[in-house]
């Protein structure tokens, strides 16, 4: 069996847009008639640019290969143009191709991917969700602690045992910065309201996006410690894990990071420096499923855990689920609400969520199939970026 080509599906995520503005899916074709689906998590360029990159990489390095030869294909793409270093755009493209190859392999042998990577170690996978705005909201759920507390209670009633929120305000091109007293007070009040509302029924996951300096992050962590969060996410920018390690040493809250990192090499620095004990690789950016398994193995030797990141479409979600199902040191899986809306429409068989846990599929490969009709209905025709941070001249 040989790979013969690729089709790409750029999708505009309709309102409310949970998971980002755009998704990019792909299907690898083979001469045996088996197709594999993947998703690229590339947030820095327009979808049409990423599509062209996928087509170029597949034509140069993938067409004519056996889909079982994942490792050799990975190395050839990673070395493309004499790169051989973590490049979030190239590796994002490679990630979607790699997970599509795994999908083909699983279908060829009639097994889920998790059974090919050591086998299932759990029958259900604990998941969390962000607190999301609802169409009926008249105020911003991230500016109103009382509304956030109400929403948290609703989610717990639906079965969620962990909730993430990021009330720390905007992130900008001038970060990192020192949070002012108003920001510190808001974060403390917000977290207190949610903890009071849910008690010990749910873990609290405090999210930031690298906005703060080391000293600023430590000041914030000290205010949050009494609420016992499960983690403090990306408290400083991820490019210098040595600095993030200073935050980790100064707080009792576990540090989580990884959504912006690519490949085992960047995660090795996180582990070597002690920057974080919870690794949040996104399989659509990090290098794919096998790369995620290698990172999990490195983490296992340090008693660190993985919590695969998901702020994109449901194909990455399906890949994350495969990894979580076969990984001993898995902690928790990020989901997009109840995996409903467009995240369900895009799949012929939606991902199954029961009482805050995702049920691993038994179908071969990734266990999901892209609904091409839905993908084409929401086809992206603009140059909107997947993520659009608020660039402000003066974040103070």
pLDDT digits (tens, 9 = 90+) for 184-216: 999 999 999 999 999 999 999 999 999 999 999
CB 191 within 8 A of CB 224: yes
Residue 208 and residue 125 share a domain: yes
Total domains in the fold of the chain: 2
Average pLDDT on 141-158 reads 96
User: Would you put residue 151 in left (φ > 0), alpha (ψ -120 to 50) or beta?
Assistant: alpha
Residue 102 and residue 167 share a domain: no
Look at residue 232 and tell me whether its pLDDT is greater than 70. yes
Look at residue 394 and tell me whether its pLDDT is greater than 80. no
- Tell me, yes or no, whether 376 lies in a domain: no
Residue 123 and residue 66 share a domain: no
- Tell me, yes or no, whether 384 lies in a domain: no
Residue 130 and residue 91 share a domain: no
The residue that leads in pLDDT, 394 or 290, is 290
What is the DSSP pairing of strand 353-354 with strand 3-12? unpaired
61 belongs to the catalytic site: no
Average pLDDT on 72-95 reads 95
- Tell me, yes or no, whether 307 lies in a domain: yes
171: confidence class by pLDDT, cuts 50, 70, 90: confident
Residue 23 to residues 11, 17, 226, 242, Cα–Cα distance (Å): 5, 11, 38, 33
Mean of per-residue pLDDT scores for the chain: 95
pLDDT at 390: 56
Look at residue 74 and tell me whether its pLDDT is greater than 90. yes
Residue 123 and residue 24 share a domain: no
- Tell me, yes or no, whether 379 lies in a domain: no
Domain range for 68: 3-111
Average pLDDT on 304-332 reads 98
Residue 80 and residue 66 share a domain: yes
Beta bridge partners of 353: 358
Average pLDDT on 171-179 reads 89
Look at residue 12 and tell me whether its pLDDT is greater than 60. yes
Least confident stretch, 26-40, 162-176, 316-330, 333-347? 162-176
- pTM comes to 0.96
384: confidence class by pLDDT, cuts 50, 70, 90: confident
Look at residue 378 and tell me whether its pLDDT is greater than 90. yes
CB 36 within 8 A of CB 29: no
Which of 61, 209, 357, 386 is the catalytic position? Answer: 209
Domain's final residue, options 74, 94, 111: 111
pLDDT at 170: 78
Rounded Cα distance, 91 and 240, in Å: 20
CATH code for the domain in which residue 244 is found: 3.20.20.120
| pLDDT, tens digit (0-9, with 9 covering 90-100), for 126-146 | 999 999 988 889 999 988 999
The residue that leads in pLDDT, 135 or 62, is 62
Which of 61, 69, 309, 343 is the catalytic position? Answer: 309
- Tell me, yes or no, whether 121 lies in a domain: yes
pLDDT at 135: 87
User: Would you put residue 260 in left (φ > 0), alpha (ψ -120 to 50) or beta?
Assistant: alpha
Residue 192 three-state SS: helix
CATH code for the domain in which residue 102 is found: 3.30.390.10
Residue 91 and residue 50 share a domain: yes
Residue 78 and residue 141 share a domain: no
309 belongs to the catalytic site: yes
Residue 94 and residue 171 share a domain: no
Residue 168 and residue 43 share a domain: no
Domain's final residue, options 96, 111, 126: 111
Residue 251 and residue 205 share a domain: yes
- Tell me, yes or no, whether 68 lies in a domain: yes
pLDDT at 61: 98
173: confidence class by pLDDT, cuts 50, 70, 90: confident
**% of residues, the chain, pLDDT over 70:** 98
Residue 269 and residue 256 share a domain: yes
284: confidence class by pLDDT, cuts 50, 70, 90: very high
pLDDT at 389: 60
- Cα angle: 179, vertex 181, 182; to 5 degrees: 95
Rounded Cα distance, 287 and 308, in Å: 13
Look at residue 169 and tell me whether its pLDDT is greater than 90. no
Determine how many CB atoms are found less than 10 A away from the CB of residue 84.
Answer: 11
pLDDT at 79: 96
Rounded Cα distance, 368 and 100, in Å: 11
> E strands along the chain, which residues?
3-12, 22-30, 36-40, 125-130, 162-165, 203-207, 231-233, 255-257, 278-279, 305-306, 333-334, 353-354, 357-358
Query: Residues 6 or more apart from 226 whose CB is under 8 A from it?
Result: none
Look at residue 396 and tell me whether its pLDDT is greater than 90. no
- Tell me, yes or no, whether 125 lies in a domain: yes
- Tell me, yes or no, whether 374 lies in a domain: no
């Amino acid at each position: 069996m040989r790979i013969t080509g690729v089709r790409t599906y750029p999708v505009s995520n309709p309102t409310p847009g949970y998971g980002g503005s755009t998704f990019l899916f792909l299907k690898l074709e083979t001469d045996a008639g088996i197709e594999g689906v993947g998703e690229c998590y590339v947030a820095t360029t327009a979808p049409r640019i990423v599509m062209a990159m996928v087509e170029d990489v597949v034509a140069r390095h993938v067409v004519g290969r056996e889909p079982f030869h994942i490792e050799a294909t990975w190395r050839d793409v990673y070395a493309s143009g004499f790169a051989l270093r973590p490049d979030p755009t190239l590796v994002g493209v490679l990630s979607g191709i790699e997970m599509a190859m795994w999908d083909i392999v699983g279908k060829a042998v009639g097994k889920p991917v998790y059974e090919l990577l050591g086998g299932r170690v759990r029958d259900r996978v604990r998941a969390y969700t962000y607190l999301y705005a609802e169409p009926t909201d008249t105020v911003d759920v991230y500016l109103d602690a009382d509304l956030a507390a109400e929403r948290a209670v609703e989610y717990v009633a639906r079965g969620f045992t962990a909730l993430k929120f990021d009330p720390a305000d905007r992130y900008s091109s001038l970060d990192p910065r020192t949070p002012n007293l108003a920001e510190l007070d808001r974060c403390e009040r917000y977290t207190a309201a949610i903890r009071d509302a849910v008690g010990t029924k749910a873990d609290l996951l405090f999210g930031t996006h690298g906005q703060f300096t080391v000293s600023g992050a430590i000041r914030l962590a000290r205010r949050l410690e009494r609420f016992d969060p499960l983690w403090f996410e990306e408290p400083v920018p991820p490019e210098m894990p040595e600095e993030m390690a200073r935050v980790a040493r100064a707080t009792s809250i576990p540090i989580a990071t990884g959504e912006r990192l690519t490949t085992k090499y960047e995660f090795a620095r996180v582990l070597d420096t002690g920057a974080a004990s919870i690794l949040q690789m996104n399989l659509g950016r990090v290098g794919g499923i096998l790369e995620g398994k290698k990172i999990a193995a490195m983490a296992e030797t340090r008693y660190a855990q993985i919590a695969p990141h998901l702020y994109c479409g449901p194909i990455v979600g399906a890949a994350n689920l495969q990894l979580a199902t076969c990984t001993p040191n898995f902690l928790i899986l990020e989901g997009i609400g109840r995996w409903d809306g467009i995240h369900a429409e895009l799949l012929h068989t939606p991902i199954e969520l029961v009482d805050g846990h995702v049920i691993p599929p038994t179908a071969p490969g990734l266990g999901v199939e892209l609904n091409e009709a839905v993908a084409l209905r929401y086809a992206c025709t603009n140059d909107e970026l997947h993520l659009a941070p608020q660039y402000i001249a003066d974040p103070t």
